[in-house]
Structure 1
Amino acid sequence: MAYEKIQRQSLIVWLYSSKQLKQLRKFGNIHYVSRRMKYAVLYTDVTNTATTIANLEKLPFVRSVEESHMNEINMDFSLALADLDDNGDYMKALNQTGPSLEEISASFKQDFTISPKE
């Protein structure tokens, strides 16, 4: 018996009141609830997303429903780690052509020199 990963869609449900949170359980898994900001993060199956959104918007305590854009974000960080040197600093920052540290400190010294009053 092989494990099959279920594709889920995250929905952000904005609420008028957080008293009726138990009613949201039948639409999916409640992942997070912010009582102060009055929203809940709900996970549903990808195949039922459109019908779930339509049913949630019919509820009187729901202000609006948004689909999360988390699945659109590229979570592959292997290229980001390739740009780091041994100390964890970015190689690109070290190879940039720009003013050197000495030039920057000299310009600050020029700007902040106090001329004697005559």
Structure 2
Amino acid sequence: MSIGNFYQSGDWKGEKHVPVIHAPEMVKKGEEMEVKVLVGEEIPHPNTLEHYIAWIKVYFKPSEGKFPVEIGTYTFAAHGETELFTAPYLTTKFKVSTPGTLYATSYCNIHGLWENSMEIKVED
């Protein structure tokens, strides 16, 4: 069985584990774009020592490319130790020169792997 079979998805407005992607749908070729990814926008995800989002990964797969490129892995390490909690939220910037798909994946220590995606168009 492929690990891809373990990824879950859904409408992030009704499922607190799905990564929410905020990015422009259209960018200019070679221009830096800002992407925000978070878990629990509409329905907050518990952020406790017992139940938390451990990481979010962001990838970009060019339309004509064979594989996605990892933009970054963002770990959230504080889950209640001495009353400190890390929110599963990130902002990153990068440049693209071709259209493609932006992917965000996340891991909940109780409910497993989650994914979401968004198409990005590029204009000259």
Report the TM-score when normalising by structure 2: 0.27
Report the TM-score when normalising by structure 1: 0.28
Bigger strand fraction: 2
Higher-RCO chain (CA-CA 8 Å, sequence separation at least 6): 2
